[in-house]
Structure 1
Amino acid sequence: MTNPFRTLKAGNRMQQVSEVVNSWNEWDPLEEIVVGSADGANFEPTEPGNRPQIRNAPPGTPFPSGPKSAEAVDRANEELAGLVSLLESEGVRVRRPAPHDFSQSVRTPDFEAANQYCAVCPRDVMITIGNEIIEAPMSRRSRYFEFQPYRELVYEYWNADPRVVWTTAPKPSMADKMYRDGFWDWPLAERHERMHSFEFCVTQDEVVFDAADMSRFGRDIVVQESMTTNRAGISWLKRHLEPKGFRVRPVHFPLDFFPSHIDCTFVPLRPGLVLTNPDRPLREGEEKLFLANDWELVDAPEPTTGNDEMPEFCQSSKWLSMNVLSIGPNKVICEQQEKPLQELLYKLDFEVFPVPFRNVFEYGGSLHCATWDVRRVGAGEDYFPNSDYQPLA
């Protein structure tokens, strides 16, 4: 197997650079990206890996089922179109997912789901690591086939350049035994007692990970252990990526009782700078890697909208405020209402591009979630030279 790293005067860089698929971190100058679509979106069903609830509704109020309303889809699509226009005005090529009927049920020998979800958040299922596209196995039944709206694009990229690598991670069974019985009924006190064991709604028996639990730092891939990524999933990523020269580094946020996706908790903005969540600090000791390599960890300000004020069907926390999209090492797109975060970014010498995105929140994410960057200028760098990490041989 070819090792994609070589040593140059500027430090460690990766050899395998594709002119079609090339993205090694979250901040290099952006050239091509996929932006999600709300077309055909459905409400997410209740299942062992997910128990959606209406905010501020009386206990026992059933969560809606079936397709989202035309008005809700139009509102979200209008904001997604605004993001597309901004990106294109900055010279970025924007691609969109193919149409998909999310009202279709899912049935396998191991499970059934009444309907699928949506294609608003490509970040959850697709990730570019250098010249490789990885399709995540996903953690929820309703999202089992969520890769399909992106399959035409993947084939296009794969056919355009022989250096493009395409990997689909093994699909888990999603059978009842893959999920932890009773998890959703644990009281908060029990969650607090269990917070250092990092056992959530998925068990450790099968490979499970969502792509949005990963953050790319060049040679290093930081992965959150969460409700949507288990230790078996992290082990698969280590075995797959470390022989290619990457270092896969698990991280943990013990005060987050429902962790799902790292991009509202630990967000790299440029080399040497990470936006952190003051409510969800790293597990003690895990910050040492960053501090030893001169990274600054800066807490995000309190969001402008509290958890109780988020859209009623949104299952994410108020910390979607942190879900920004970098289009260059000093250019960041931020949700329009998040003035305190915008002010912080200005002070950190970023050019900030505010866009309205509140109507997208109920579809599971914000600006970073709603995108999948395919190509950025640059190559793989080693941003953690002071490290005793020993990857797999």
Structure 2
Amino acid sequence: MSRVWSTNDWDPLEEIVLGTAQGLTPPPVDDSVRHFFEPPADAHLERIGADTLKRVVEETEEDFADLTEILQQAGVTVRRPEPPRPDQAFATPNWSTVAMHALMPRDCLLVIGDKVIEAPMAMRARFFETMPFRRLLGEYFDDGATWLAAPKPELADSTYVYEPGHSVVGENEPLFDGANTLRCGRDVFFNVSNTGNRKGAEWLRRALGPEYRVHEMSICSDHVGTTLHILRPGLLLANSARLSEDSIPEQLRGWKTLWVDEPEDDGYAFSWPRASVWIGMNILALGPDRVIVPANQERVMRQLESVGIEPVPARFRHGRTFGGGFHCCSLDTRRTGELADHL
């Protein structure tokens, strides 16, 4: 049997990959960065001091150490990538940039069943983001996992399409981040957005084969982890500012929904935030009745308690600074349970 097995976000967690803040390098603000983060007009003028960057990295690693202890106390094996080298420049024939980080395995990798898939990401600075995880991918492959990589995208200027009120990615090649998906056993919900297109959904559909059903949705501008979580079959955690009953994917309507009002604001250390306050609902489940939650999100914790879920508070200071929470910064590679039809 493969060591890799995970088909949802709620079965009891056994093994996880946690990213690293080491090597964090904010990239130049090119079209792909503007497309994803939608920063202020003067974002290209940002100058992050060496002391500020050092503090963010050190404090994030401190928070990851606390998170690792919580996970290990729950019996979870924690794996880490090779730290990337800071300021690592690279280029293709058409553009050049700097590698951003190895913070968020949830974005660059996707686990479905015994498959680990390298995602064809739309941001140029993340083109080689799976490289720090290659040692782990090799281990998982040697232990029986199916290791797939979507086609490396060209990421031409025409990729980045701006429409009134929002931005999308063009359909000239398959594109998606792993965090565009919401896994529910045999059903995978794929968010068509500025980080994933319909051609990406179709590539995933064909790669997974007839065991799975890939449903397209458009519930937010990029990743789904700050908009909708499946806490367990029949129970959702949803962003009240972005969703209503009618905009929840049709297959999940009728499930009980905990509606999150605006979360607490953690603030940010750089001159502009890489995530909204909704990063506060980016949670990580240890199982169907225990969920790791940012320690300052008291209202979210009380909501979880109201349905019999134990919140496990953990410090996390820089989710808005670099644009990721507990779910973004981790990748569950093994959960107990079987492939099931939950709909």
For Structure 1 versus Structure 2, the TM-score category normalised by the shorter chain is over 0.9
DSSP-derived class of the 2:230 partner: strand
Q: Which runs of 5+ in 1 are unaligned?
A: 1-17, 385-393
| Contact 1:79–1:359 (Cα < 8 Å) also in 2 | no
State the match for 1:272 in structure 2.
Answer: 234
| Contact 1:48–1:176 (Cα < 8 Å) also in 2 | yes
| Contact 1:335–1:356 (Cα < 8 Å) also in 2 | yes
For residues 65 and 104 of structure 1, what CA distance do their matches in structure 2 show? 17
| Contact 2:193–2:222 (Cα < 8 Å) also in 1 | yes
- Please list the CA deviations of residues 311-336 of structure 1 after superposition, one character each: whole Å capped at 9, or x if unmatched: 44431111111100001010100000
Letter paired with 1:173: E
State the match for 2:262 in structure 1.
Answer: 302
For residues 141 and 61 of structure 1, what CA distance do their matches in structure 2 show? 16
**Alpha-carbon shift at residue 282 of structure 1 (Å):** 6.0
DSSP-derived class of the 1:378 partner: coil
For residues 305 and 240 of structure 1, what CA distance do their matches in structure 2 show? 39
For residues 78 and 367 of structure 1, what CA distance do their matches in structure 2 show? 14
Say if 2:155 is the partner of 1:174: yes
For residues 283 and 342 of structure 1, what CA distance do their matches in structure 2 show? 22
DSSP-derived class of the 1:97 partner: coil
**Alpha-carbon shift at residue 59 of structure 1 (Å):** 4.9
**Alpha-carbon shift at residue 375 of structure 1 (Å):** 0.3
For residues 285 and 71 of structure 1, what CA distance do their matches in structure 2 show? 40
DSSP-derived class of the 1:235 partner: helix
For residues 160 and 43 of structure 2, what CA distance do their matches in structure 1 show? 22
State the match for 2:3 in structure 1.
Answer: 20
Q: 1:351 aligns with which of 288, 310, 321?
A: 310
| Contact 2:29–2:43 (Cα < 8 Å) also in 1 | no
For residues 227 and 82 of structure 1, what CA distance do their matches in structure 2 show? 33
For residues 240 and 31 of structure 2, what CA distance do their matches in structure 1 show? 30
Q: 1:370 aligns with which of 305, 314, 329?
A: 329
Q: 1:249 aligns with which of 215, 224, 233?
A: 215
**Alpha-carbon shift at residue 352 of structure 1 (Å):** 1.0
Q: Which runs of 5+ in 2 are unaligned?
A: none
| Contact 2:279–2:319 (Cα < 8 Å) also in 1 | no
Say if 2:303 is the partner of 1:320: no
For residues 44 and 136 of structure 2, what CA distance do their matches in structure 1 show? 40
| Contact 2:182–2:190 (Cα < 8 Å) also in 1 | yes
For residues 229 and 250 of structure 1, what CA distance do their matches in structure 2 show? 10
Superposed counterparts of 1:180-191, under 5 Å: 180=161, 183=162, 190-191=164-165
Say if 2:188 is the partner of 1:204: no
| Contact 1:36–1:97 (Cα < 8 Å) also in 2 | yes
Q: Aligned residues, how many?
A: 339
| Contact 1:315–1:364 (Cα < 8 Å) also in 2 | yes
State the match for 2:207 in structure 1.
Answer: 240
**Alpha-carbon shift at residue 53 of structure 1 (Å):** 7.6
State the match for 1:3 in structure 2.
Answer: none
CA RMSD of aligned residues (A): 2.2
The alpha-carbon distance between structure 1 residues 347 and 286, as it changes in their structure 2 partners (threshold 3 A), is closer
| Contact 1:224–1:250 (Cα < 8 Å) also in 2 | yes
For residues 65 and 145 of structure 1, what CA distance do their matches in structure 2 show? 23
| Contact 2:106–2:179 (Cα < 8 Å) also in 1 | yes
For residues 305 and 53 of structure 1, what CA distance do their matches in structure 2 show? 19
**Alpha-carbon shift at residue 287 of structure 1 (Å):** 3.9
The alpha-carbon distance between structure 1 residues 332 and 121, as it changes in their structure 2 partners (threshold 3 A), is same
TM-score, normalised by the number of residues in structure 1:
0.81
| Contact 2:277–2:320 (Cα < 8 Å) also in 1 | no
- Please list the CA deviations of residues 282-338 of structure 1 after superposition, one character each: whole Å capped at 9, or x if unmatched: 6946543223xx5222211321228xx454443111111110000101010000000
State the match for 2:92 in structure 1.
Answer: 108
Q: 1:132 aligns with which of 95, 104, 115?
A: 115
- Percent identity, aligned pairs only, is 34
Higher strand fraction: Structure 1 or Structure 2? 2
State the match for 1:35 in structure 2.
Answer: 18
| Contact 2:258–2:303 (Cα < 8 Å) also in 1 | no
